[in-house]
Structure 1
Amino acid sequence: MTQQGQTPQEHTPDNSLALLKDGYDFIFKRRREMETEIFRTRLLGQPAICIGGKDAAELFYDTSKFQRSGAIPKRIQKSLFGENAIQTMDGDAHRHRKMLFMSLMSRERLDVFMQLLAQEWEAAIGRWEGAGEVELFGESQELLHRAACRWAGVPIEEETVRNRADDMGAMVEAFGAVGPRHAAGRRARRRTEEWLEGFILDLRAGEFKADEGTAAYAMAFHRDLQDRELDSRMAAIELINIVRPIVAIGRYVVFTAIALHEHPEYREKLAADEGKYRQWFVQETRRYYPFTPFLGASVIHDFTWKGHEFEEGTMVLLDVYGTTHDPALWDEADKFKPERFENWGGSPFDLIPQGGGDPNSGHRCAGEWLTIDAMRVSLEFLTNRMAYDVPEQDLELSLSRMPALPESRFVITNVRLASSEAAPNRG
């Protein structure tokens, strides 16, 4: 077998602090410096292999070689995903649970969500008119939460809706964080799990009703491979795993607004477009802006790939951000160029901001199609259905902050419904 020394290796006791410092660029920076798609390091006191690029992504999604079970740290489960949720499963159990999630993503159900989302955008603009400064991030999280709950069959209480939306966002904020931000995410998860577990129990008892096509009904009455209903807390956790990722699209709404602000030359093209250019713009926003930094798995059994040894039990991190910015895959990778998608082949292993591989049976995000559609609806409102001003503010995205977000959360002012005579949004 190939000697381990042939794989580039960092000779440091532990790189956990460097990971927090470099954030999204941790793996990609080292890949560039070493001119490699693979290197060894140590994280959290354990040996780790970091990989990136299209071939590496294809390897990472080979379920005969890697498993998710045991690969996601408890601190992330207790804040972002929930303990023992679908993201931690493998094999038949994962495929069975994934079918549950994918059953909610039919074209008919996605169209229903987009209609609800458009309604919430219309209502939000009404609230924002005359409101002075509007923080787009917090407001977009709320409108997405409202649409997600209506779509999922979860009742909304006006007096708690903003707090519920903020709790969903706090779980995402906890990823990559230490100290108060992580603690806030864990508290938010406990509150949300308690709320939705109570709802699941009431739904099963007949005190609430939900349509059979909704996520609430599906999670409450899903049966596992042993023909048992999910534990009520697990049903709540998986229901959160429907609503929370939709709320997280609020980050993409902000990234879309930043792209429009920093590249106003695309506004005219988007306004005149019937769909094709809008799709390119959405995909480029997903590729260019930092969303998921990396994904983890563990090696099932010893194997060799391109002369590099992978030992059973070793933690492996896939460089998601670096793969979407790899100059070997993307021409002028550091530039925002929606036109690049005109001739894109649609590989499941190069555009991987929400994971790669087969969305139906693998670990690729079940909500990716919903995300793209939601971004298209949001882009339509930001370009054609509303007008606003962008005051001076710091819109820099620090790659050391995981998840990334501008300090200002993107503030807009003078929001109004657009008309055919309305001036373009301006800074």
Structure 2
Amino acid sequence: MSIPHDKSLDNSITLMKEGYLFIQNRMKKYNSDIFTARLLGEQVICISGEEAARIFYDNDRFQRKGAAPKRIQKSLFGEDAIQTMDGQRHIHRKLLFMSLMTPPQQKLLGQLVREQWQDSVTKWKEKNEVILFEESKEILCRVACNWAGVPLDESDVKERAEDFMNMVDAFGAVGPRHWKGRRSRTKTEEWIEEIIKEVRSGKISAREGSAIYEIAFHKQLDGSLLDSHMAAVELINVLRPIVAIATFITFSALALHEHPEAREKLQSADDAYFEMFVNEVRRFYPFGPFLGARVKKDFIWQEAEFQEGMLVLLDMFGTNHDPRLWENPLQFFPERFNDWDGNLFDFIPQGGGDPAKGHRCPGEGITIEVMKETVAFLVNDIEFHVPEQDLNYSLVRMPTLPESGFIISNITLK
């Protein structure tokens, strides 16, 4: 069987025009979980669905080296970082990240965020309204740095938070947005690298077990320390994703606004329902559009030839909305997770597979705890008004967000 081929000289511009729906549009057109297309001058295989995710996260068949374009490494991940590694080197580095993000640390970060939200209410009384996305960025930046042991002056919080989010915003961008993200990365790497050097020299005291200490003194497989620049890149890969939870928080607020029945249930809900709610936010609303990997060795799947070195894109957004996996996928329904079996390949908002052995995000547990505590704050700690505003979000822009950033006003403690 020959797999469908999207007949176009190059789909790069089409991808930018269709965004999150690029792969899904063609899956529907060809009635297939797989098709090929030309992107940035090379033949690419696009795949979607649970079985596709299982194949994609098979480390014997795929590798990450060479998958992330340099433009994404120079803005989002950092060059030669953990996301581009494979084999024992990747597992060794991943264990470092996993050791920092244990369940007790996840709970701690959630609690720190809840406390920051509560402390913010006083200053909000002086404002007519606040933009939740902007407030989230700053709170998460402050908490992430404090938790990780990174010194951060209060006067610098806004700028540093902006830089972290600029890196994320550059992911699907060309032109000014992309260059803004690259400038922010360069600036942030210089800042963090200097701190790494000062921790190593003893000029800055760091607590053993903190992210900055463990990364500064992490030993590679050959027993050597990471060079100071790579240590900075990896510490940013701890901090940046925490700040990026601001996007999920903004969509959580939108979900509360659009689904008052869920908000009402949350007012008297146990932890299990809070988890179902935030998982449904992560499934339903757009975050990452797709992920890339390169074929490690030739193999055949669905009668298609995957040749060594080929770039393959896994459709995250489409898999999370696959009607074969999710009943009425375009309906927001937290209770669907009541019966979810914890499958690591049908629900992939932050990647698929086992986070300890593969490339699923090690910070997923942090995301869930931070979201739960924020939702609890919005539902049970404060009262607020949602004024008229543009809450639409584009499925073309990658990454996306409600246009207004979600404005709230008349905020008071309950």
Counterpart check, 1:18 vs 2:14: yes
Once residues 217 and 58 of structure 1 are traced to their aligned partners in structure 2, the CA distance between those partners, rounded to angstroms, is 35
- What is the aligned partner in structure 2 of residue 413 from structure 1? 409
Counterpart check, 1:271 vs 2:285: no
Q: CA offsets per residue over residues 57-83 of structure 1, 9 Å max, x none?
A: 000000101000000000000000000
Q: How far did residue 129 of structure 1 move?
A: 2.0
Once residues 247 and 127 of structure 1 are traced to their aligned partners in structure 2, the CA distance between those partners, rounded to angstroms, is 21
Which structure 2 residues correspond to residues 3-402 of structure 1 after superposition, within 5 A? 6-402=2-398
Preserved contact between residue 116 and residue 150 of structure 1 (Cα < 8 Å): no
Q: Which amino acid aligns with 1:403?
A: P
Q: How far did residue 107 of structure 1 move?
A: 2.1
Preserved contact between residue 4 and residue 36 of structure 2 (Cα < 8 Å): yes
Q: Which amino acid aligns with 1:276?
A: A
Tell me the SS of whatever aligns to 1:41. strand
Tell me the SS of whatever aligns to 2:202. coil
Once residues 5 and 340 of structure 2 are traced to their aligned partners in structure 1, the CA distance between those partners, rounded to angstroms, is 34
Q: How far did residue 345 of structure 1 move?
A: 1.1
Q: CA offsets per residue over residues 196-241 of structure 1, 9 Å max, x none?
A: 0000000001011111111100110001011110010110110000
Once residues 21 and 42 of structure 2 are traced to their aligned partners in structure 1, the CA distance between those partners, rounded to angstroms, is 20
Q: How far did residue 108 of structure 1 move?
A: 2.3
Preserved contact between residue 107 and residue 366 of structure 2 (Cα < 8 Å): no
Q: CA offsets per residue over residues 100-143 of structure 1, 9 Å max, x none?
A: 00000122222222222122111222221231121110110100
Q: CA offsets per residue over residues 288-346 of structure 1, 9 Å max, x none?
A: 00001000000111110121111111100000000000001100001101111111111
Q: CA offsets per residue over residues 10-64 of structure 1, 9 Å max, x none?
A: 1111000010011011101111111110000000000000000000000000010
Tell me the SS of whatever aligns to 1:13. coil
Q: CA offsets per residue over residues 145-184 of structure 1, 9 Å max, x none?
A: 1111111011120111110011001100101001111110
Tell me the SS of whatever aligns to 1:395. coil
Q: Which amino acid aligns with 1:316?
A: V
Q: CA offsets per residue over residues 372-427 of structure 1, 9 Å max, x none?
A: 11110011011111111111111111100000112211111111112xxxxxxxxx
Q: Which amino acid aligns with 1:127?
A: K
Q: Which amino acid aligns with 1:161?
A: V
Aligned residues: 414
Tell me the SS of whatever aligns to 2:154. coil
Q: Which runs of 4+ in 1 moved over 6 A?
A: none
Tell me the SS of whatever aligns to 1:404. coil
Preserved contact between residue 251 and residue 402 of structure 2 (Cα < 8 Å): no
Preserved contact between residue 61 and residue 363 of structure 1 (Cα < 8 Å): yes
Once residues 226 and 79 of structure 1 are traced to their aligned partners in structure 2, the CA distance between those partners, rounded to angstroms, is 29
The answer to which of 120-129 and 23-32 deviates more is 120-129
Preserved contact between residue 129 and residue 415 of structure 1 (Cα < 8 Å): yes
Q: Which runs of 5+ in 1 are unaligned?
A: 419-427
Alignment TM-score, normalising by the size of structure 2: 0.99
Once residues 228 and 366 of structure 2 are traced to their aligned partners in structure 1, the CA distance between those partners, rounded to angstroms, is 26
Tell me the SS of whatever aligns to 2:150. coil
The percent identity for this pair of structures is 55
Q: Which amino acid aligns with 1:173?
A: D
The answer to which of 120-129 and 244-253 deviates more is 120-129
Preserved contact between residue 10 and residue 39 of structure 1 (Cα < 8 Å): yes
Preserved contact between residue 141 and residue 247 of structure 1 (Cα < 8 Å): yes
Q: CA offsets per residue over residues 248-269 of structure 1, 9 Å max, x none?
A: 0000010000001111111221
Preserved contact between residue 51 and residue 316 of structure 1 (Cα < 8 Å): yes
Tell me the SS of whatever aligns to 2:145. helix
Preserved contact between residue 109 and residue 369 of structure 2 (Cα < 8 Å): no
Once residues 131 and 263 of structure 2 are traced to their aligned partners in structure 1, the CA distance between those partners, rounded to angstroms, is 21
Q: Which amino acid aligns with 1:389?
A: H
Once residues 127 and 25 of structure 1 are traced to their aligned partners in structure 2, the CA distance between those partners, rounded to angstroms, is 40
Preserved contact between residue 130 and residue 414 of structure 1 (Cα < 8 Å): no
Q: Which amino acid aligns with 1:336?
A: F
Q: Which amino acid aligns with 1:339?
A: E
Q: Which amino acid aligns with 1:244?
A: R
